[in-house]
Amino acid sequence: MPKKLTPLDAATRAFRKSIDPYSMFTSQIDAQLAWLRHPQELMRAADEFAADIAALQGHAVRRSLGLPADEVYEPNPKDARFADPIWTESAPWDILKEWYLTMSSRLQKLSYEAPGMSEHERHRAAFWQRNYLNMLSPDNFFWLNPKAMDRYAKTQGESLRLGLKNFARDVEAKNIQMVEPDAFVVGKDLATTAGKVIFRNRLVELIHYAPTTDKVREMPILIVTPWINKFYILDLTEKKSLVKHLTDQGFSVFISSWKNPPKEMHDVRFDDYLTQGVCELVRVTTEFCKVPQLHLVGYCIGGTLAATYMAWANKRFGPDKVPVAHWTLFTSLIDFSEPGEINIFIDEACLEGLDTLMAKKGYLDGTEMAASFRLLRSNSLIWNYWVSSYLMGEKLPAFDVLFWNVDATRMPQAMHSYYLRQMYLHNNLIKPDALTIADESIDLGRIQQSLYAVTAQEDHIAPWEACYKVRQNIHPDAPVRFVRSTSGHILGIINPPVQPPKRSYWVAEPAYGEDAEHWLARADKKPGTWWDDWTTWLHQRTGELVSAYATTSRKYPALADAPGTYVLEK
C-alpha cells in the first residue's frame, strides 16, 4: 500500500510537477526541511557556520589593519573569477572575496550533507544552489568588480556603452551568446575537407572524403557522429580536422551527417537511427569499397548507437559475419549508472517535464539542451560571457569550437524520450536482453570485436570512469585498448599533433574485471596526442595498401559536395 503523503508533501509534489519539474526551487525547500527534521545535525552545522563567521571576522580585522592574514577559504586554482591579483592584494576586495567563497562553500556543504535525503536529491539540491551562488558572485556586478570599474575609467565609459550594446544584442537573441552567429561559414571556413555526399535518406547523409594519398588501407573507416551536434567538430579547420588527418595517413574515411529533424519527424525512434542510420551507412560503405568489413567509429551518443549496433549485428549475423572487423569509441557512455552531473536532470519528474515540452513541438530544441549543458559549467559557459560582454564591453571571440557548439540540432521526441529513459534512467543497455531494438534483443556481452576506446580526463558529459565500464560490459575475451586523454569532452578528442606537445594521454590494455583506478595506476603516460597511437593501431588492422578508392562511383554518384546539405539546416 503506497505511503500516505502529508499535506505539505502533496502540495510540494503538485507544485513540482506543474511548475518546477526540474526541482530548481523545490530541491532547496527539500534540503532546508531535511535539516529542520534533524535538529541534532542542525546544531552541529550551526557550530561550523559560527566558526566560519568568527574566522572571517578575524580575517577582516587583520586585513583592515594591514596585518598579514591567512585565507579562510583556499580558492580553486581553476576558478578564474578571482585570478586577478587585486582580489588578494587589496584588503577590501580580498575581504569581499573571502566572505563570498567561504559562505558559498559552507552552503554547498550543507546541501551535500543534508540528512535523510538520497544522494541523488542532495546532488540535485547542491547543483541548483551552486548555480544560484554562481549567479550572485561579486564579479558579476559592475560595482563589485574592480576590473570592470578600472576598464570603465580607462576607456572613459566606452566599455560600459559597448557592454549595453552587447546586452541589447543578447536580449534580441534571447541568449547569452558565446560567439557571433556569423563568425564562420560552414563549407567555407569550417568543414572544408574535400569530399562528396554519396548517400542520403530521410535521416542521414554519408560523406566520402577524397583520398590524399595514392594508396589507402583496404578497409575503410566509418565514423558515426553524434546527432546532438553537427558532424563537423571532426572537420573544423585543416589543422584541427581529424578526418583530414586520417586521409593524410592513408585511410579511406566516411562520415555521417545527420538531418536536423523538424516537428514532422517527432516519431523517429532510436530503432530508426540504427536501421536507417548506422545499418545503412555500414551497408553502403562496404558496398562502395567492395569489402566485407570496415572499421566503425562512434562519438558520444554516436558511440552509444555504435555499441548498440555491434550487439545487434553480433546477434543478427553471428560473430564471424559482422560487417565490422573492429571498432573505436570516443567519449561514449555505455553504462549510464554514473553519468556525471547531467544525472540531476534524470528522474521521472524531469523526464515527464521534458516529454510535455517535446510534445508541444515534436522535438527538444537544441538551444534548450545546450542550456542544460551550460548549467553544468555555469561560471565558464555563462557568467564568464556575462562579465566579458556586458561589464567589460568586449567582443565575442571568433572561436571555431564555440561556433560549432552553438550550431545546435533538435532531438526527435520519440528517440530522445526513449534514450533518456532506457539508457540514463533505467540503464537497460548493459542489462542482457533487456532491450529489443530492430527486432533483436541487445546483449553487449556478445561483442567480441577488438575495441579502441578514448576518454577525456576532464569530461563532465561522459566521465572517463563511466566510459571505462565498457571493458566490463562487452565479451571478456574482446581485446580492448583504452586511452584517457587530458582535457575535456571536445578538446580531448580534437587533439591534433603539435610541437611542442600541449597535451598527454594514458594508454594500456585493461583486463576484464580490472577497475579504472588500477588501470590508471599502471597505464603508460605519454606526451602528445593519442591520434598517433590510434593510427598505428589502425594500420595494423585495416588490411593491405591498395590503390585509393575514387570519391564516387557509378552506383553511388555525388549527390552534393562535402559538407553536404543536412549540416546547413537550421
List pLDDT tens digits, range 509-527.
999 999 999 999 999 999 9
Helix locations, 390-529, DSSP H = 400-406, 413-418, 464-468, 470-473, 516-522
**Entry pTM:** 0.93
Report DSSP letters for 341-361, one per residue.
GGGGG-SHHHHHHHHHHHHHH
The answer to whether residues 384 and 80 touch, using CB atoms and an 8 Å cutoff, is yes
Residue 76 — very low, low, confident or very high, per pLDDT cuts 50/70/90?
confident
Task: Find the angle CA(340)-CA(344)-CA(348) to the nearest 5 degrees.
Answer: 125
DSSP labels for 63-88?
HHTT-----SS---TT-GGG-STHHH
In sequence order, which residues have a C-beta less than 8 Å from that of residue 93 and are 6 or more positions away?
86, 87, 146
Amino acid 16: pLDDT: 65
- 321's torsion region: left (phi>0), alpha (psi -120 to 50) or beta? alpha
- Mean pLDDT in the chain? 94
Name the amino acid, one letter, at 281.
L
| Residues paired with residue 195 on neighbouring β-strands, in sequence order | 209
- What is the reported pLDDT for 1? 45
How far apart are the C-alpha atoms of 502 and 240, rounded to whole Å? 14
Question: In the prediction, which pLDDT does 336 show?
Answer: 96
Query: Is 350 part of the annotated catalytic residue set?
Result: no
Q: Please give the pLDDT value at position 14.
A: 63
Mean pLDDT of 114-123: 94
Contact 272, 415 (CB under 8 A): yes
Range list of β-strands (E), 181-311? 195-200, 204-209, 215-217, 221-224, 253-258, 294-299
Cross-strand bridge partners of residue 440? 437
CA 368 to chain centroid, in Å, comes to 14
Query: Which of 460, 253, 219, 245 has its CA nearest to residue 323?
Result: 219
pLDDT digits (tens, 9 = 90+) for 468-507: 999 999 999 999 999 999 999 999 999 999 989 889 999 9
Kindly indicate the confidence band of residue 20, based on its pLDDT and cuts at 50, 70 and 90. Answer: confident
> Count of residues for the chain?
570
- Indicate the SS3 state at residue 110: helix
| Per-residue pLDDT at 368 | 86
* 528 phi-psi bin (left φ>0, alpha ψ -120 to 50, beta other): left
Cα–Cα dist 220/293, whole Å:
8
Cell reading at 479 = 581485446
Q: What is the pLDDT of residues 304-352, one digit of tens each?
A: 999 999 999 999 999 999 999 999 999 999 999 999 888 989 988 889 8
Helix (H, G, I), strand (E, B) or coil at 488: coil
Cα–Cα dist 170/178, whole Å: 10
On the 0-12 / 13-18 / 19+ scale of CB atoms within 10 A, 426 is: middle
C-alpha cell at 89: 592584494
Which of 279, 289, 300, 467 is the catalytic position? Answer: 300
Residue 21: pLDDT band (50, 70, 90) is: confident
**What is Dmax (Cα atoms) for the chain?**
84
